[in-house]
């Protein structure tokens, strides 16, 4: 048997799709990603990540 995690499916906010940036990027690569997203979407994406994964924010490069 297996478990399928549908966690963010159906939330309806494209910011959810960008949460991987917090887990995968750091330093210059995260800054480049932020610049590519623009000023509108990045704050929503980072707020969603801070709300749903506070441990990941304190340890972004585990």
Domain residue ranges of the chain, discontinuous segments joined by +: 14-58
pLDDT tens, position by position, 11-39: 667 677 777 777 788 788 888 888 887 77
Q: How confident is the model at residue 62 (pLDDT cuts 50, 70, 90)?
A: very low
Q: What is the mean pLDDT of residues 48-57?
A: 70
Q: What is the pLDDT of residue 60?
A: 52
Give CB contacts under 8 A, 24+ apart, made by 46-50.
46/22, 47/15, 48/13, 48/15, 48/16, 48/19, 49/19, 49/22
CB 12 within 8 A of CB 48: no
CB 41 within 8 A of CB 13: no
């Amino acid at each position: 048997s297996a478990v399928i995690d549908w966690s963010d499916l159906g939330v309806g906010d494209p910011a959810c799709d960008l949460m991987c940036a917090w887990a995968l990027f750091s330093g210059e690569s995260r800054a480049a990603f932020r610049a590519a997203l623009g000023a509108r979407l990045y704050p929503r994406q980072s707020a969603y990540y801070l709300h749903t994964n506070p441990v990941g924010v304190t340890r972004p490069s585990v």
